[in-house]
Amino acid sequence: MKLEARMLFYDQVHMDVYRTHDKHIVETVVFAGTNYHKTLISVTNQIGCPVRCDFCFGHNFPYARNITADEFMQQVSGALEENPLVPWYDPERPVKVGFQRAGEALLNKNFYDGLEKIAEAYKPSFQLTSVMPNSEVSLKLIEKMRQYLSEYKETFQINVSMHTTDEDKRKEMMSGFNHLMDYKEIAEFGEQWVREVRKRRIDLSFVLMEDNEVDFVKVRELFDPRYFSMRFAFYLPSSEETARLHQPSTLERMNRKSLEARELGYHCVQSFAGPVEGRWDTRPFSALKLFKE
């Protein structure tokens, strides 16, 4: 891949935009300044996304292909080895790699090979954000990860994109994607993962939208607090179209839902947009949106 552009956001974030050999755009965002306790490298997983969530601008960009293992690796090596060009980069700080930008990592057959390359070269901690597919590819990837990560010294954090406790509504939001684990399967996966890999609990992630049910009493018997935590974030619409579909929730609702979850025994994390997200659009597909315009 060739570096097409490097956009610097002077709240200590930058986006590297690559052009692939077959003319696709790949975006990598790096949170590398003193506002962050680790250098977080957020990488692209697929060209386009087959899940096509209705609240994400990415549903305007159809799936084209998987990122290769070498392209996974290059996103990380480019961020770490070219970062002396960025004034706030500190090579002594620990590194975390997040598979959380365009595409679904667990639908990419090359994901495990890319993960292993990165792990062997840089020994970072990891974060995976996933809708938790139950396809043949994803189940094979999970088994390989389970075996490898049980011996890996650094943490591997999994955020499950939930957004609602209503299973039917969740499927509807994900454009009828037909290869999702159901909630019972997610619960069984999480318990087995935490028991065997033992890195940390699974985070159930809720980007709060007013039209989405969030009822923890309803799912408490499925999702045991010993294996699952709750993570809340505000919904930031990525276009006028997505803003019409879903109304963002308020801080008052986030605080109320956090209290409800804690009373049921869950550890909770409230996530707030940083200064860069507040001023510029750095969400997945933002580079494609910019280049398209």
Residue ranges covered by each domain of the chain? 2-292
Q: What is the mean pLDDT of the chain?
A: 88
pLDDT in tens, 86-144: 878 788 889 999 998 999 999 999 999 999 999 999 999 999 999 999 999 999 999 99
Q: Are 271 and 254 in contact (CB under 8 A)?
A: no
Instruction: Compute the average pLDDT of residues 175-185.
Output: 85
pLDDT band at 24 (very low <50, low <70, confident <90, very high): very high
pLDDT band at 293; cut points 50, 70, 90: low
Give the C-alpha separation, 31 to 37, whole Å: 10
Mean pLDDT of 272-277: 73
Find the mean pLDDT for residues 239-257: 81
pLDDT of residue 122: 93
pTM of the model as a whole: 0.89
User: Which residues are within 8 A (CB) of 58 and not within 5 positions of it... i.e. 6 or more apart?
Assistant: 48, 49, 52, 102, 284, 285
The letter for the amino acid at 223 is F
**pLDDT for the residue 172:** 87
Spell out where 163-267 has E strands.
202-208, 228-234
Q: Does domain 2-292 have CATH number 3.20.20.70?
A: yes
